[in-house]
Amino acid sequence: MALLADRIEDSRVDSERAPAALVRHTLIQTQRLLLRWVRNPVTLLEALIIPCLLLIMLETVVGGQIRKFTGDSALYGSVPMVTIAGAVSGAVACGVLLGREREAGLLARFWVLPVHRASGLASRILAEGCRILAGTLAIVLVGYLLGFRFHRGVLATLVFLSIPVLFGLAFATVVTSIAVFTAKAALVEGITILTSLMMFFSTGFVPLAAYPRWIQPIVRNQPMSVAVDAMKALALEGPLARPLTLTLLWSTTAITLFAIPATLGYRRASRR
C-alpha cells in the first residue's frame, strides 16, 4: 500500500513538471492575470485610457507647432512615445498588483498547489506581452484616426509593433524584481517620476533640436528616445540601424541584469 502511494505521488510530481503541464498551467494563469487587470481600474487607466488621452492632447496642443518646426506630422514622434510610455506605466501598475498579491499571500497559495513551478512567472511574462500589444494596437488606432500612417511596408510595421513589447517586457522585468520585495507606494512614485522624466526628455515629445545643446546627448541616447527614433524610422523615414541597435541593447541589458533577481525574488516571495 505504501509503495502504491509512493508511485502515485511520484507520478503526480512528474506530471506537474511535464512540459505539457507548463503550457497548460501558464495559459490558465495568464487568463487569470488578464481578467484581473481588465477588472482593475488603475491598470486600465495606466495602460490604455491615459496613453490614448495623452496622444490626443499632444496632437491638439503641440502638434501644429512641431509640424511647422520639422515639416512632418508630430504623430510620428508622439505615437511611438505614447506606446512606450503606456507599456512602462502599465508595467508599474501590474508591479503594484504583484506586490499586493505577495503581501496577501496569494503567491504562497499558488506555490503549494499542484502546478508547474515555472508557470507563475511565465504567465506574467505572457500576460505582460498581451497587455502591451493590446495597448500598442489601441494607441496606433487612435493615431491612425488622427492621421498617423505606415509608409515602410508590412515587415516594418510588424517590427514597429514589436518594439514596445520588447521594451515593455524589459521594463516589466525591472519592475517585477522590485515588486517581489516591496508593495509600498514608493514603487509607484519612484518609477513614475523616472518614466515621466524619460518621456518629457525624449525625441518623441519635441524634436532633439528644441532641447538645450548641453542636454541633447542625454536626450538622444536615453532608452525611450532611441526606441522612439527606431519606431519613427520604421513608420516614416530616417536612419534605422543606430536607434534599433541601441533599443535592442538597452532592452536585452535590462532583461539580462534583472531576470535572475526577478526569478529568485518571485520564488522567494512564493515560498513565504
For the beta carbon of residue 72, count every other beta carbon within 10 angstroms: 15
Dihedral of CA atoms 210, 213, 216, 218 in degrees, nearest 10, equals: -140
Given this model, what pLDDT does residue 224 score? 92
Burial of 9 (0-12, 13-18, 19+ CB in 10 A): exposed
Please state the pTM of the whole predicted model: 0.84
pLDDT greater than 60 at residue 8? no
- DSSP, res 132: H
Confidence of residue 144 (pLDDT cuts 50, 70, 90): very high
Instruction: Dump pLDDT digits (tens) for 145-173.
Output: 998 999 888 999 999 999 999 998 888 88
Instruction: Dump pLDDT digits (tens) for 232-251.
Output: 999 987 788 899 999 999 99
Q: Which residue has the higher pLDDT, 167 or 73?
A: 167
Instruction: Dump pLDDT digits (tens) for 24-58.
Output: 888 888 888 888 878 877 777 777 888 888 899 88
Query: Which H helix or E strand runs over 186?
Result: helix 186-200
* pLDDT mean over 263-267: 77
Given this model, what pLDDT does residue 272 score? 62
pLDDT greater than 90 at residue 15? no
Which triple of cell numbers denotes residue 133? 500589444
Averaged confidence pLDDT in the chain: 81
Given this model, what pLDDT does residue 271 score? 66
Instruction: Dump pLDDT digits (tens) for 177-235.
Output: 877 766 555 665 677 788 888 888 888 888 888 888 999 999 999 999 999 999 999 99
pLDDT greater than 80 at residue 116? no
Residue type, 258: F
Given this model, what pLDDT does residue 187 score? 62
Q: Which residue has the higher pLDDT, 116 or 207?
A: 207
Out of 93-107, 213-227, 232-246, 257-271, least confident range: 93-107
Given this model, what pLDDT does residue 48 score? 80
pLDDT greater than 60 at residue 6? no
Rg of the Cα atoms in the chain:
21
CA distance 220 to 212: 12
CA distance 272 to 119: 18
Which triple of cell numbers denotes residue 160? 514597429
CA distance 245 to 230: 9
